[in-house]
Amino acid sequence: MMKDIATPVRTKAILEKYGFSFKKSLGQNFLIDLNILNRIVDFAELTVNSGAIEIGPGIGALTEQLAKRAKKVVAFEIDQRLLPILKETLEPYPHVKVIHEDVLKANVNQVITEEFGEDQDLMVVANLPYYVTTPIIMKLLTDQLPIRGIVCMLQKEVADRIAAAPGTKDYGSLSIAIQYYTEAKTVMIVPKTVFIPQPNIDSAVIRLTKRPEPAVKVTDEEFFFTVVRASFAQRRKTIFNNLSSHFAQTIEKKNIEKALHAAGIDPKRRGETLSIEEFGRLSDELVSHLDVNKAKRI
């Protein structure tokens, strides 16, 4: 019986055998705590018929635990130096496939079609490289993948922002962008001591459960996100001032005020106090006042 990868002794032995050195530019921090890995997999609620997609498998510590519970695992790894290591460490698991590709450039929907059965229960489970956490999560959500959700480890500060509620200091456009597609919950805090090398910050595991429909129904999704970003442009400013600055060329101030009142929002409020539903109403009111011809020229 092979020993688990995720122990300090086995991890160090594997790294030494291959003369592997960590690349800071790739945000490589490998987990060496089996209990935490098992809890991450627990949060994904996989069955023997589930499929799992992993991003950045490293030397295969999390991949191995996923392979013990899922029907099939597909892992995207960008670092070519890890491919021979993964070939060895994951040899006992023929139902694991490693794809050497940057997930941000990959056609993940096509990979899912080719690698997983139709209507298979699918979860993304990953210890994400911290420098690209947000772009990866946003890509997975906006690509409209047929997944049940995402369980991922990321820096605690980003997890706090993703799961934040209106009226809190962490609540912002990222909270809304992700909560639009999912229900977000931080399920575990992870100390820096369980990684090789140790990062400078604490981490958290967040569970994103995909909503059957977006949190709000809006006339124009792209415009909705524009309104959200504009509302947080300067946090100390009122929503009226932020929107007036952003739409100076395309919506008259009096129409911004009209739209706010029609949506039931006091123009003196700040963006961080608005719920996602309020942003939805506001976006639909504002879009009716948008000077489309001017907007196209900007």
Known binding residues for S-adenosyl-L-methionine: 29, 31, 56, 77, 102, 127
Which positions ≥6 away from 193 have C-beta within 8 Å? Answer: none
Q: Is 278 helix (H, G, I), strand (E, B) or coil?
A: helix
Q: Are strands 182-190 and 203-210 parallel, antiparallel or unpaired?
A: antiparallel
**208 DSSP β-pair partners:** 150, 184
CA distance 136 to 156: 16
Residues contributing to the annotated binding site: 29, 31, 56, 77, 102, 127
Q: Is 61 helix (H, G, I), strand (E, B) or coil?
A: helix
Which positions ≥6 away from 173 have C-beta within 8 Å? Answer: 225, 228, 229, 231, 232
CA dihedral for 231, 237, 238, 241, sign (positive or negative):
negative
Rg, the chain, Cα only: 22
Phi first, then psi, for residue 72 (nearest 5°) are -150, 145
Nearest to 76 by CA among 164, 15, 120, 139: 139
Determine what percent of the chain falls in helix, strand and coil, rounding each to the nearest 5: 45, 15, 40
For residue 94, whether the previous peptide bond is cis, meaning omega lies within 30 degrees of 0, is: no
CA distance 231 to 242: 5
CA dihedral for 19, 25, 26, 31, sign (positive or negative):
positive
